[in-house]
Amino acid sequence: MAQYTPMIQQYLSVKAQYMDAFLFFRLGDFYEMFFDDAIKASQELEITLTGRDGGVEEKIPMCGVPYHSAENYINQLIEKGYKVAICEQVEDPKSAKGVVRREVVQLITPGTVMQGKVIDEKENNYIATITDFNDGTYGFAYIDLTTGEGQITMITGDWLDVVSEIYSVGAKEIVVSANHSEQQLQELRDRANVTVSVEEDITIPKVLYETSNLLEQTKLKDTLGRLLQYLVKSQKRSLDHIQPVVYYEANQYMKLDIHSKRNLELVETIRTKGKKGSFLWLLDSTVTAMGARRLKQWIERPLLSKVEIENRLNMVETLLKNFFIRQELQEALKPVYDLERLSGRVAYGNVNARDLIQLKKSLQQVPIILGLVEQLQNSYADALLQNMDPCESLFQLIEAGINENPPLSIKEGDIIKDGYNEKLDTYRDAVKNGKQWIAQLEMKERQETGIKTLKIGYNRVFGYYLEVTKANIHLLPEGRYERKQTLANAERYITPELKEKEAIILEAEEKIVDLEYDLFVQIREQVKTYIPKLQKLAKIISEIDCLQSFAQISEEYQYTKPEFSNDRKIVIKEGRHPVVEKVLNSQVYVSNDCYLDSESEMLLITGPNMSGKSTYMRQIALTAILAQIGCYVPAQKAVLPIFDQIFTRIGAADDLVSGQSTFMVEMLEAKNAITKATQNSLILLDEIGRGTSTYDGMALAQAIIEYIHHEIGAKTLFSTHYHELTSLEQSLERLKNVHVSAIEENGKVVFLHKVKDGAADKSYGIHVAELAELPERLIKRAKEILDELEHGHKSNEPPVPTKEPTIRTDEDAGQLSFFTVVQEKQDRKPKHTTNKQEEDVLKTLQSINLLEMTPLDAMNELYRLQKLMKSKI
């Protein structure tokens, strides 16, 4: 350290405390970064990298951003998952002895950022914590610093359950202890896409003790303590808006693991990672930011309580029946500001006068909303209204104190209304009347001197003055005018009267700005006392907004109120996939039925690719989720059980992040379902086993079906291309075959998208390849090969014995043969002998690794070998 200049030593000393963050080090009007921070920031922010003398021979890498535009650069870094420590000058440079004292005043991270483009108004910005108690349980808590709301629970299970919960709430940052393995932390970064921070202190900070007043378990307090300690240490300011955390049991809600949420595209699409095209996109007809965030929370946590579900459904039904009230309610909700995030900004001390006007306008709407909800005459609505405080006194405070159109800055004046403060009114009167007096004095001096060009002016250096051109100086009376400044063509003077009035006016103008700022801060502190009431009001308004959104969607797409069965029966008449239906817009959606009861627990679905098997499976799951969040469903009739969990394995994709193949991903997701599902769960498995050899795949698929059928008994939809599995309907009494139908017209396949009883008769694979417009020559060749495989070789060839493939688990089981020649075991006499060319072809076939070849390469090689065989006949 001694080799560096005192300022660089100070920088390094501060940086040592924030090694995982960019240190924005205040130097005058810039935030500067040095060493590795400068190199990395210059790349990430695309700003110029320079150097600075720091007491060593080589210049120290340096880059910087202007103080006034720093927020944009900070937001860019936060969006990329970085942290930024803001280091300010905390003493006046004029009075500093040596290097100006500097301290970090705030650590801005993805989970603690309060404003800017990083914050999506329709999404929560959670920071979470996880504590591993090494007994199979984990403490989990999360808080949205922008709104102050937080929840806490205990998770019993494995690390995947933890990752799924973090993914579920959409946390941007996770606070952990240092004893987690690097593998676990990396999995959090990769799968849940979070920034990881470390905090060891688990004591509840005294300033936030109220947030834990409902917690009794030591484990829960330790978990919350870690998160609160991190927030207090990083933010270094008031956190009064943080509400008491709410404890919830994981079994209060339907469990949806990370795979199911992704496969069902609940809040984002798999392909674009965007909201458009997702389940959330379909349902979001909310008109407030608070309502949009609440909707996302409801989608990610469907209810299990039949009473709570039916309360929401009855409210939706009431809103549907009262069309005009619902329309008026939507209009009344539109001007409502984001009360939750406004409360956070009030507590943080960064709210301005315009924000308070927005708050006033929001509160102005509350009585209107109350009146409209009262007209609904619904018991659930009445319960909401009982807890609704319109905060009339807060409205009156802002109405009396804040101007309607205040400036953006709170230090420019013109914020406080006339009549709010007597002292302020006196100052304003002095300024107003003083300026009138100045104008009258100017007129008086012109008359007395006869100088029509005489004028009174003002500047910051000399204050008020009388200006007379040099041609008229001889007209001034002697003794009363005191020369103040000489110009090229004029002289400037002052008089005792002018100086006296100047003192009054300037003092008043200066004190007005300071007094207005003080009065605004006082009003802001009074608003702070209303934060708990505002947060409660925000929750009720957001709930009303969600329910009107459900009613709007249900009416627009003609959804039906679902019923709930006690015998686990599923009856869906004319069901549709809600998102696909919206995307198709004016096109007709082919609806389908689904019937499952105690005698048919499983559907084995066959049918060609692109026929709609996966869509059918997803629509059953989304219908169940819609019902359990309290919304109507896309069907003519729907009777459903209340599912405790939904597991899905739909679509094939390699997990490149963890280096797992398609087949491994299949097996892991299948394992998650069959080890955690209960009889009250819903399982969707799409073409399990296709990622390996035919025999292996069929064997695993059959074993999984049998295990679910015998051991779990969950309602299950299983799609497959292994037509041999359809024979299981004869041996598994609760399994039923269905297929998605298609017909062939003029050599082309037409998908009917209709689910019918029984197994499919064909797969239409080559027809699908034709639709994909593969080369005509390739399609023709594929048809030839298919014909040979289905009907044997040329008619003039002797028939070769064939063998029906069966699922075998012994060591002799292998890949299904593409040829009709069956290699007999050595201890059996062969049906015919092969010549040398045939033996060579067989050896070549045995040496080929089909799994490492593309389909086109495999077909070309097959064609070459067949051509070779034909040439030798």
Can you read off the two tokens belonging to residue 457? 């002016």
609 is in an annotated binding site: yes
* Cross-strand partners of 637: 573
Residues 528-558 as b/e (b if ≥16 CB within 10 A, e otherwise) read bebbebbbbbbbbbbbbbbbbbbbbbbeeee
Tokens of 273: 């990672």
Instruction: Report d(CA 572, CA 621) in Å as an integer.
Output: 12
CA distance 390 to 538: 11
417 and 400 in contact (C-beta within 8 Å)? yes
Rounded to the nearest angstrom, the gap between the alpha carbon of residue 10 and the centroid of all alpha carbons in its chain is: 39
Measured distance CA(341)–CA(147) in Å, rounded: 5
> How far apart, in whole angstroms, are the C-alpha atoms of residue 217 and residue 848?
62
**CA dist., res. 829 & res. 826, Å (int):** 7
**CA dihedral over 460, 464, 469, 474, signed as positive or negative:** negative
611 annotated as belonging to a binding site for a ligand: yes
Angle at 335 between CA 331 and CA 338, to 5 degrees: 125
Task: Find out whether 109 and 118 touch, Cβ atoms under 8 Å.
Answer: no
450 is in an annotated binding site: no
* Helices 496-528/392-401 angle, 10° precision: 170
Rounded to whole angstroms, the Cα distance separating 31 from 417 reads: 37
Rounded-to-integer distance, Cα 839 and Cα 830, Å: 13
Distances (CA, A) of 827 to 485, 804, 822: 124, 21, 14
Strand pairing partners for 742? 751
Residue 265 exposure: Cα atoms within 13 Å on the Cβ side: 25
Q: What are the φ and ψ backbone dihedral angles of 779, each rounded to 5 degrees?
A: -60, -45
Please name the residue that has the structure tokens 């030839």. Answer: 784
In SS3 terms, 38-49 reads as HHHHHHHHCCCC
Question: Is 554 annotated in some ligand binding site?
Answer: no
Residue with the two structure tokens 């905060």: 391
Cβ pair 182, 154 in contact under 8 A = no
SS (H, E, C) 212-230: HCCCCCHHHHHHHHHHHHH
Was 614 annotated as part of a binding site? yes
As a whole number of angstroms, the distance between CA 321 and CA 302 comes to: 25
Q: Is 607 annotated as a binding residue?
A: yes
How does DSSP assign 740-774, residue by residue? Answer: EEEEEETTEEEEEEEEEES--S---HHHHHHHTT-
- What's the rounded Cα separation, in Å, for the pair 494 and 812? 114
The token duo for 630 is: 């309290």
Tell how strand 602-606 and strand 715-719 pair up.
Answer: parallel
> Kind and range of the H or E element at 152?
strand 150-156
**CB 155 within 8 Å of CB 134:** no
Q: What angle do CA 577, 674, 737 make, to 5 degrees?
A: 55
**In this structure, are residues 498 and 303 in contact, taking their beta carbons and an 8 Å threshold?**
no
- 136 marked ligand binding residue: no
Is 164 annotated as belonging to a binding site?
no
Distances from the Cα of 285 to the Cα of 290, 554, 556, 712, angstroms: 12, 11, 11, 39
Rounded CA-CA distance 667/670 in Å is 5
The annotation places the binding site at 607-614
The annotation places the binding site for ATP at 607-614
